[in-house]
Amino acid sequence: MNKFGFTISKGRQIDYESNDRRIADYIFEKEPSFRLCIECGGCSATCTTSNFTVFSLRELNILIKRGENDQVRQNLKKCMLCGKCTLVCPRGVNTRNIVVLAKKAFQKSDEYAI
């Protein structure tokens, strides 16, 4: 069938209904400041890890919130927990705890066993 040379790639869109947001819910419950992010990117800008490699805490956080967990699981481990992000955040988001909780959540869930 002629698709006129393009299709809508399934991987491109966030399928909100079928995505699993349990990791996000877990973090929301344990660390309510997770909700306060305004996506300013201050954390990613100052990040020690992103000085060396592709790593954006802001992006990982929003992906968790949308349930796009696959991209997060491996990447999150690059964090060194140095805490600069927490110091910079204008909204007082407890970014370090979010990383620790997310790592724990991924570890807990069998589905996402490392």
Interface residue list for other proteins (CB under 8 A): 33, 38-53, 56, 58-59, 77-78, 80-84, 86-92, 94, 96-97, 100, 104, 107, 113-114
Pair 84, 55: CB distance under 8 Å: no
What span, in angstroms and rounded, lies between the C-alpha atoms of 45 and 42? 5
Cα→Cα distances 51→42, 45, 48, 78, Å: 13, 9, 5, 12
Q: Which of 62, 56, 63, 106 is nearest to 85 (CA)?
A: 56
Tell the burial category of 110 from Cβ atoms under 10 Å away from its Cβ (0-12, 13-18, 19+).
exposed
Q: Which is nearer to other proteins, 1 or 112 (CB)?
A: 112
Least distance (Å) between residue 22 CB and other proteins: 18
Least distance (Å) between residue 110 CB and other proteins: 12
Least distance (Å) between residue 1 CB and other proteins: 34
Q: Which is nearer to other proteins, 3 or 46 (CB)?
A: 46
Q: Which is nearer to other proteins, 15 or 77 (CB)?
A: 77
Least distance (Å) between residue 29 CB and other proteins: 13
Q: Which is nearer to other proteins, 15 or 91 (CB)?
A: 91
